[in-house]
Structure 1
Amino acid sequence: MSNGAQNDAKKARDDSSRAADTDRIQLAQLLAYAAEQGRLPLKDYEDRLTRAYAATTYDQLEELRADLPGSAVSPVRGGKQNPAPSTLLLALLSGFERRGRWNVPRKLTTFTFWGSGVLDLRYADFTSTEVDIHAVSIMSAQNILLPPEVNVEIRGRGVMGGFDRTILGNGTPGAPTVKIHGFSLWGGVGIKRKARRPRG
């Protein structure tokens, strides 16, 4: 076999063992389920989650789930992402809360008017590698709580109010990127990285 053919064969093997974003997201969901069921302590869950997002091969992903019951990481490896439907969370003279385990869509709008809102992503299942949040707060307040590992980009602004821009930066390599934009008028949008708490 010529050197060129050998190189092509090696590249094909490497490509077939390379994990896709979809596989990392599916494993993250499996780990979250195991933690929710009490089969993974919080510290172990967060350690495996960090390693899952950084994984580049199927072998690395399989190693992280080998002792957990459930199906294979992905029945169809490298499948296309299937993000949850776009969502609107609305609080007009009222409030909304989204906490616990829920599917985070690729596009999410939060709107509060004389109300309040809490959007907690710490225990949620990401369904895509990028999340776009459009946050609007008018004469009201809303808080967005992010897990430590996500990457964050913020482009919001406050007019006679506040739009938190203090947590810009990188999280874990390979983790989802949360892009937050919008504005507040006589109100506030608070954005914080917050540690998960053990479930008791």
Structure 2
Amino acid sequence: MSNPAHSDARKARDDFSRASDTDRIQIAQLLAYAAEQGRLQLTDYEDRLTKAYAATTYQELDRLRADLPDAALIPRRGGECNPAPSTLLLALLTGFERRGRWNVPNKLTTFALWGNGVVDLRYADFTSTEVEIHAYSIMGMQTIVLPPEINVEIRGRGVMGGFDREVAGEGSRGAPTVKIRGFSFWGDVGIKRKTRNPRK
């Protein structure tokens, strides 16, 4: 027969164990689902999301999901991140769009030739803590939209075209980092940080 005191001590020890990147990403996805279902208001969602990325223990993460319907389900703890597969988005005389909820891979390549594209990360589910986006525009245009909490590093170049090199605002501690590389030739790669819109 198990000793309740030992069980309580083990639970307390587990609660204060260090959370991993995988744990933070899982909670971020759970919060996004709750916001999509209307169970969290936008301001509450963004506040919890920032806290989730900055959390260091399981106790901090568990507090963020305690009042949600799926709180009884304990996420798999620890382990390695399992990023979505690398993706290529092409706009050849046409266009591409990624908006709403979608799984962000750890490597994304976008190419616009006489076309245009949009990659909107504001409502997306990150599957790793670092994301590489290789963006190329040749006589085309594309826009990458970042949410407020995401960190960004940009190294791109425009030749007779534009490639945004700076983005207003700072990301949050512990949030994923998006590294944007590439070039434009007679085209444009726009990189913007935008707030989320309240769900209607």
TM-score, normalised by the number of residues in structure 1: 0.90
1:74: how far off?
2.2
Q: 2:121: which partner in 1?
A: 121
State yes or no: 1:102 paired with 2:102. Answer: yes
Q: Is the deviation greater in 14-23 or in 34-43?
A: 14-23
Q: State the distance in 1 between where 2:28 and 2:15 align.
A: 22
| Superposition pairs of residues 121-140 of structure 1, within 5 angstroms | 121-140=121-140
Structure 1 spans left out of the alignment, 5+ residues: 1-12
Q: State the distance in 2 between where 1:153 and 1:133 align.
A: 10
Measured against aligned partners, the alpha-carbon deviations of 1:103-156 in whole angstroms (never above 9, x if no partner) come to: 000000000000000000000000000000000000010000000001100000
2:75 corresponds to which letter in structure 1?
A: S
Q: State the distance in 2 between where 1:20 and 1:185 align.
A: 41
1:74 corresponds to which letter in structure 2?
A: P
CA contact (8 A) 1:122 1:146 kept: yes
Q: Is the deviation greater in 62-71 or in 46-55?
A: 62-71
Cα separation, partners in 2 of 1:32 and 1:117, compared to 1, 3 Å: same
Q: State the distance in 2 between where 1:163 and 1:15 align.
A: 45
Q: Percent of pairs identical after alignment?
A: 77
Cα separation, partners in 2 of 1:134 and 1:73, compared to 1, 3 Å: farther
State yes or no: 1:171 paired with 2:149. Answer: no
SS at match of 2:135: strand
Q: 1:93: which partner in 2?
A: 93
SS at match of 2:69: coil
Q: 2:75: which partner in 1?
A: 74
1:79: how far off?
1.4
State yes or no: 1:31 paired with 2:50. Answer: no
CA contact (8 A) 2:86 2:105 kept: yes
Cα separation, partners in 2 of 1:160 and 1:149, compared to 1, 3 Å: same
Cα separation, partners in 2 of 1:163 and 1:35, compared to 1, 3 Å: same
CA contact (8 A) 2:112 2:141 kept: yes
Q: State the distance in 2 between where 1:106 and 1:21 align.
A: 14
1:80: how far off?
1.0
Q: Is the deviation greater in 124-133 or in 63-72?
A: 63-72
Q: 1:4: which partner in 2?
A: none
Q: State the distance in 2 between where 1:36 and 1:142 align.
A: 26
**What is the number of equivalent residue pairs in this alignment?**
187
1:73: how far off?
4.8
SS at match of 1:74: coil
C-alpha RMSD of matched pairs (Å)? 1.5
TM-score, normalised by the number of residues in structure 2: 0.90
Q: 1:190: which partner in 2?
A: 190
Q: 1:158: which partner in 2?
A: 158
1:97 corresponds to which letter in structure 2?
A: E
State yes or no: 1:44 paired with 2:38. Answer: no
